[in-house]
Amino acid sequence: MFSSVFSGAGFWDAGVWLLMFVFVGGYAFGIRRMGRSDYKKGTDQDEVYYSGNVMPDVDVFTVPASSSYWGFREALKGYYSRLSAMHTGIATEYVGWFVLTAAVILVLVIV
């Protein structure tokens, strides 16, 4: 039940990883215990230091999901324009892709 899984080319043991997590967790907890004990929640100590400036509004300094991986999308602009063109949302095109796939596979199998 707790033994390793062998694939023929390697093995996997969840127990080793769990031991690693326990070790790393204990190490992190030890570092945390070395922190200052005079921290007070709800005081100025909670304030984010923003290079001495007033913190801007939340929406200004968070990256929205629609802007994530902007560079990735720009680098693959050609690929994404073709992929998006496939996804028109038109019901008859859904049927068209289905029929086209069936026809291509049928020809490949029969010929």
Partner 1 sequence: MNLMNHLPALALAVPLLAAFATPLVAAISPKARNIWVTCVSALVSLIVFGILYRVLTMGTQIYVMGAPSWNISLPSGFAIPVRIILEVDAFNALVAFIASLSALAGAVYGLKFVRKFTGLEFYSALYFLLTAGTLGMIMTGDLFNFFVFLEISSVASFGLIAFWRDRPEAVEASYKYMLVSQLAAQLVLVALAFIYGRYGVLNMAAFSTVVQPDLISKVVLVFLLVALAMKCGSFPMHMWMPDAYAEAPASVTVLLVAMSQASLVVLCRFCFSIYGTAMGTAVIPWTLIVLGCASMFGGVSMAVVQHEVKRLMGYHSVSQVGYMLTAFGVGLLALGDKTAMDGFGLTAVAGGIYHMINYILYKGLLFLCAGALYMAAGSRDLDKMGGLARKMPVTSALFLIAAAAISGLPPFNGFVSKWMIYESVYAVHPILMVVALVSSVLTLASFVKVYQTAFLGPERPQFAETHEVPRAMIAGMCVLAVAILVLSLFPSWTVNTLVRPAAEALVNKASYGAAVMGGAL
* Residues in touch with partner 1 (CB under 8 A): 1-5, 7-10, 12, 14, 17-18, 21, 58, 62-66, 68-69, 72-73, 76, 79-80, 83, 86-87, 89, 91, 93-95, 97-102, 105-106, 108-110
Segment (H or E) for 12 = strand 11-12
Considering beta carbons, is residue 27 or 105 the nearer one to partner 1? 105
Considering beta carbons, is residue 33 or 82 the nearer one to partner 1? 82
**Cα-based angle 47, 69, 87 (whole degrees, multiple of 5):** 135
> What is the full DSSP assignment across 16-49?
HHHHHHHHHHHHHHHHHHTS-TT--TTSGGGSPP
What is the closest distance, in whole angstroms, from the C-beta atom of residue 48 to partner 1 in the complex?
8
